[in-house]
């Protein structure tokens, strides 16, 4: 099902302190997925949602969790390490972003939110858990299993379970770990489950059926997400000339806040070196960069201290950086869905953005799949410099 009319947050009878935080964030109208999900999730229905990143699904499930926890406070003080809500995410970056969003929405509610993710200090995460009873736990699967095995976290009292980007979990081989985690939560009739995925193939649908009960299914079409607010351009560029074409674009257009995607880490590092040698300030964001440095780069990008980041698809999903004006696909992605995830980094929250994709002799064969996924013909032109 979808929503055909604008839903205002004020129409949802949310708790006053939650409305205050929503107002502080400048949100007035729900996005399509929020407008479709919230009337059901706030009424304690299970929901399966099909939506790309950038559609507002994070706020949808966080608003649900915070509202339920306000309206149904703990009847007894649970021990530390026993969360009321659990959100599973496939990547550290996404988990940390969800934690940040939860703190923003819950800032007037005294909500205790903790993220446990791999690649970061275990003991510091444990100290946060031990501070006081845990309202919302955000986690990547591997690190959560580690905490559970050490008896630091117990999932027996989880009231709301959120599984975010289920298709990504499947692609990354995390489903066996997720299954172990889900089995440690109350049975599905004793909890509410919100299940989100960018795609619902047979494998994803099978998981949704296992972990939810009679869910309301919400679909936000990918082609609408991709094209409504993003001006898409496809430039014909020879492979050997791509770095020069990007340099010329940056010098001529001086874009304000730009994210450039490459398919390989080594290509990203070479591109950073090339641009730096030509007096273009930029930073890299890739899986082989230490987590602390990646987070530092992301924070500088969010704050505007860095305005050009060269990234692999580690940044393609779940990174919420407002104000990105341009996304450049230096390499066309091998998966058509990744194209939509990438360009979804711009044109967010009512703003418009520009996506430029370089099409070379090496990756032009990826175009038909992207055309089919978007449902529209792609016109390739020479660079507009």
- 9-56 pLDDT per residue, tens: 988 999 999 999 999 988 888 988 999 999 999 999 999 998 876 678
Class of 224-381 in CATH: alpha beta
Mean pLDDT of 73-81: 79
Residue 378 has pLDDT above 50, yes or no: yes
Residue 363 has pLDDT above 80, yes or no: yes
Residue 264 has pLDDT above 80, yes or no: yes
3-state secondary structure of 166: helix
What number of other Cβ atoms are within 10 A of residue 119's Cβ? 13
Q: What was the pLDDT predicted at 319?
A: 62
Mean pLDDT of 295-320: 80
> Is the separation of the CB atoms in 260 and 331 below 8 Å?
no
Residue 227 has pLDDT above 60, yes or no: no
Q: 214 burial class (0-12, 13-18, 19+ CB within 10 angstroms)?
A: exposed
pLDDT digits (tens, 9 = 90+) for 194-213: 999 988 889 999 999 999 99
Q: What was the pLDDT predicted at 123?
A: 94
Residue 323 has pLDDT above 80, yes or no: yes
Mean pLDDT of 109-129: 93
Cα–Cα distance for residue pair 18/12, rounded to 1 Å: 11
Instruction: Write out the two tokens for 69.
Output: 């926890």
Residue 317 has pLDDT above 60, yes or no: no
- Count of all residues that appear for the chain in the document: 385
Homologous superfamily of 9-220 in CATH?
A: P-loop containing nucleotide triphosphate hydrolases (3.40.50.300)
Q: What was the pLDDT predicted at 293?
A: 82
Q: Which strands sit side by side in the sheet containing 326-329, from one edge to the other?
A: 283-285, 308-311, 258-261, 326-329, 353-359, 230-236, 380-381
> Is the separation of the CB atoms in 50 and 217 below 8 Å?
yes
Mean pLDDT of 325-353: 84
Q: Tell me if 9-220 shares its fold with 224-381.
A: yes
Residue 357 has pLDDT above 60, yes or no: yes
Percentage of residues of the chain with pLDDT beyond 70:
92
pLDDT digits (tens, 9 = 90+) for 229-254: 789 999 999 999 999 999 999 999 99
3-state secondary structure of 311: strand
Sorting pLDDT into bands at 50, 70 and 90, what band is 3? very low
Q: 8 burial class (0-12, 13-18, 19+ CB within 10 angstroms)?
A: exposed
Mean pLDDT of 134-138: 96
Instruction: Write out the two tokens for 71.
Output: 């309206």
Q: What was the pLDDT predicted at 104?
A: 94
Cα–Cα distance for residue pair 161/192, rounded to 1 Å: 6
Domain positions in the chain: 9-220, 224-381
Mean pLDDT of 131-153: 96
Mean pLDDT of 214-231: 74
The residues near 188 (Cβ < 8 Å, ≥ 6 apart) are: 46, 211, 212, 213
Instruction: Write out the two tokens for 262.
Output: 């490459």
Mean pLDDT of 91-96: 88
Q: 298 burial class (0-12, 13-18, 19+ CB within 10 angstroms)?
A: buried
Mean pLDDT, the chain, rounded, equals 89
């Amino acid at each position: 099902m979808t929503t055909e009319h604008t839903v205002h947050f004020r129409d949802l009878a949310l708790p006053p302190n939650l409305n205050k935080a929503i107002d502080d964030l400048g949100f007035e109208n729900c996005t399509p997925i929020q407008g479709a999900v919230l009337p059901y999730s706030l009424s304690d229905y299970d929901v399966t949602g099909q939506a790309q990143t950038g559609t507002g699904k994070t706020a949808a499930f966080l608003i649900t969790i915070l509202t339920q926890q306000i309206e149904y406070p703990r009847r007894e003080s649970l021990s530390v390490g026993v969360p009321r809500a659990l959100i599973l995410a496939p990547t550290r970056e996404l988990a940390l972003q969800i934690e940040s969003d939860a703190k923003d929405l819950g800032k007037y509610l005294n909500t205790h939110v903790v993220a446990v993710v791999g690649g970061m200090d275990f003991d510091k995460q444990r100290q946060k858990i031990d501070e006081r009873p845990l309202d919302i736990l955000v986690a990547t699967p591997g690190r959560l299993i580690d905490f559970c095995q050490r008896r630091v976290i117990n999932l027996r009292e989880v009231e709301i379970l959120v599984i975010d980007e289920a298709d990504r979990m499947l692609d990354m081989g995390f489903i066996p770990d997720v299954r172990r985690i889900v089995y440690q939560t109350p049975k599905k009739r004793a909890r509410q489950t919100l299940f989100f995925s960018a795609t619902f193939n047979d494998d994803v649908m099978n998981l949704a059926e296992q972990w939810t009960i009679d869910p309301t299914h919400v679909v936000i079409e990918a082609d609408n997400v991709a094209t409504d607010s993003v001006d898409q351009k496809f430039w014909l560029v020879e492979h050997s000339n791509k770095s020069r074409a990007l340099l010329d674009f940056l010098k001529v257009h001086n874009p304000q806040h730009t994210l450039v995607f490459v398919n390989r880490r080594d290509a990203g590092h070479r591109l950073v070196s090339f641009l730096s040698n030509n007096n273009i300030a930029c930073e890299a964001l890739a899986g082989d960069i230490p987590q602390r440095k990646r987070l530092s780069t992301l924070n500088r990008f969010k704050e505007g201290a860095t305005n050009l980041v060269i990234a692999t698809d580690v940044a393609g999903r779940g990174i919420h950086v407002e104000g990105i004006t341009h996304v450049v696909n230096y390499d066309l992605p091998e998966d058509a869905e990744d194209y939509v995830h990438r360009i979804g980094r711009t044109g967010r929250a009512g703003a418009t953005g520009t996506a430029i994709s370089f099409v070379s002799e090496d990756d032009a064969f990826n175009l038909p799949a992207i055309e089919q996924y978007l449902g529209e013909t792609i016109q390739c032109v020479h660079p507009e410099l």
